[in-house]
Chains A and B, each alone.
Chain A
Amino acid sequence: MTRSIFINVMRLPGNRLTALAARCAKCTPMAEFRAGDVYVRVMLSVLAAGLGLLALWLPARAHHSGAAVFDNTKKIDLTGVVTRVEWVNPHAHFYIDVKDVAGKVTNWNLELASPSILVRNGWKRNSVKEGDMVTVTGSRARDNSNFGIAQTIVFPDGHKLNFLSAFEDGK
């Protein structure tokens, strides 16, 4: 990830494709995509890192497609106090009270992976507990209810948890 990103976009006639591929046989491994006369090359390491980051932001399913429940285009960013934790299958949930600028409080239900996945990834059933102040980012349910997937959970001291894991990225 510390290497500079190299994305090369070129317009090439079709017969240049082979020549370019051959010329780069000894270069840094690249992923190559072509759309019409537009040719895109991306360093494989950059592509892999990008895929990894993207994967972190897609709801990982446990027993259904996350996309069938949550809308990845409806982002949520909520700060509030945990009012309840349900350490249940097939998904653990916790609830937070979120106060808006007018002082109105809304209770949100936020979803995690299953307890069996979470505990294998470092979570404990009291990693989030009633009374904790947390900031949650994720996606809202497709039906617009006050229900969302908790992709990241950040505590006031800065430590983080996510939907699948208690292991902070890269640490």
Chain B
Amino acid sequence: MRQAIAFLGVALAVVTLFAQGQAPAGDGKGKGAGGKAGTGNVGLYQRQPPTPTGPAPKLADGTPDLSGVWLGGGSSDADISRSLKPGDSVVMLPWAEALVKTRQSKDDPESNCLPAGIPRGSPYPWRIAQTPGIYFIVFEGNIHSWRQIFMDGRKHPEDPELAWYGNSIGRWDGQTWVIDTIGFKDKFWFDYVGHPHTEKLHTTERYTRTDLGNMSIEVRIDDPGAYAKPFTTVGRARIMAGTELLEYICQEDNFDLQHISGPAQGPGGATR
């Protein structure tokens, strides 16, 4: 009996971690506790208006319209290996495996108000702005920042200036927005448990607005400096119909940092 109860407890904890691990981030499907009839939770946000329904909109020139405030992301922010395309696996090179085992939560750049990078999600919404020749992703957090994606047909520079969000060029593949990014600094962690990357990282993001309220996201991670083979994450985002982006200046008072201790870990203390 004790064995069974312990096992059930572990099962509950594991399922809860998945529920909290935002796999994908902000994937709030349910009618939430505290929600009024007809409203529900979206990620951490309660009593949100229903996700709008209808066909995916288009701009006047026929290009898919990706505007709106979105919540969600391309991978679990707790552990990227939780959001893999079926059949894929994360196989770290030995140095990366050893590094993850020594990483400490206090050193996570995201905890230090530095960018979460690609494709790490966050509990905060973001917006896509489509302007001629260049699109922007504007993040509420974390951190309060932005990405620029060149849509004018240019190629990557031969030797791009290294950046937290890299150098991004985009194109349309049918109804799917594809972003190709290289030129990363090796700074951000893929998740709370500390999966690393190198300057060889090459990401390919695919965003498809499947209908008015939903976006599917796939991100191919190719980093031969840290992983034995590429892998692809699968995530989603939903429109938050009842809100605009708000200010989230993480650097304002990052009081918690001095109190963070222990190995790099996700919610509930899960480590690699």
Contact residues of A with B, CB < 8 Å?
9, 31, 33-36, 38-40, 42, 47, 50-52, 54-56, 58-69, 86, 88-91, 93, 109, 111, 113-117, 119-122, 141-143, 145, 147, 164-165, 167-171
Contact = CB atoms under 8 A, between A and B. Distances in A.
Contacts, number: 164
A61 B123 contact: yes
26 contacts: A9-B1, A33-B7, A33-B8, A34-B7, A40-B7, A42-B8, A51-B19, A55-B19, A58-B20, A63-B110, A63-B122, A64-B105, A64-B256, A65-B269, A67-B268, A67-B269, A68-B260, A86-B253, A89-B247, A114-B141, A116-B141, A120-B45, A122-B46, A167-B34, A167-B47, A169-B33
Residue among B248, B256, B262, B267 with max Cβ neighbours from chain A (10 Å)? B256
B243 interface: yes
Contacts of A91: 253, 255-256
Interface stretch (B9-17, B85-93, B158-166): B9-17
A93 B255 contact: yes
B141 to A, nearest CB: 7
A51 B267 CA distance: 14
A124 to B, nearest CB: 14
Contacts of A121: 44-47
Contacts of A165: 34, 46
A54 B236 CA distance: 25
Given A33-B7, A61-B123, A170-B34, A66 B252 contact: no
B3 A36 contact: yes
Interface in B1-57: 1, 3-4, 6-8, 11-12, 15-16, 19-20, 33-35, 44-47
Interface in B183-236: 192
A171 B35 CA distance: 7
A67 B78 CA distance: 12
B123 A62 contact: yes
A65 B267 CA distance: 5
A113 B44 contact: yes
Interface residues of B, number: 53
A119 B242 CA distance: 12
Given A116-B247, A168-B34, A145 B259 contact: yes
A89 B46 contact: no
Interface in B231-272: 243, 246-250, 252-256, 259-262, 265-269
Contact of B4 (A35, A88, A145, A170): A35
B142 interface: yes
Nearest to B247: A116
Contacts of B253: 86, 88-91, 93
A88 B44 CA distance: 18
Contact of B33 (A39, A56, A65, A111): A56
Interface in B104-124: 105-106, 108, 110-111, 113, 122-124
B180 interface: no
Contacts of A51: 12, 15-16, 19
B100 to A, nearest CB: 15
A33 B11 contact: yes
A171 B20 CA distance: 22
Contacts of A31: 11
A148 to B, nearest CB: 10
B159 to A, nearest CB: 33
Contacts of B105: 64-65, 68
A68 B33 contact: no
A111 B260 CA distance: 14
A93 B254 CA distance: 11
Given A51-B16, A65-B192, A90-B250, A117 B123 contact: yes
Contacts of A39: 4
B16 A64 contact: no
Contact of B142 (A36, A60, A90, A168): A90
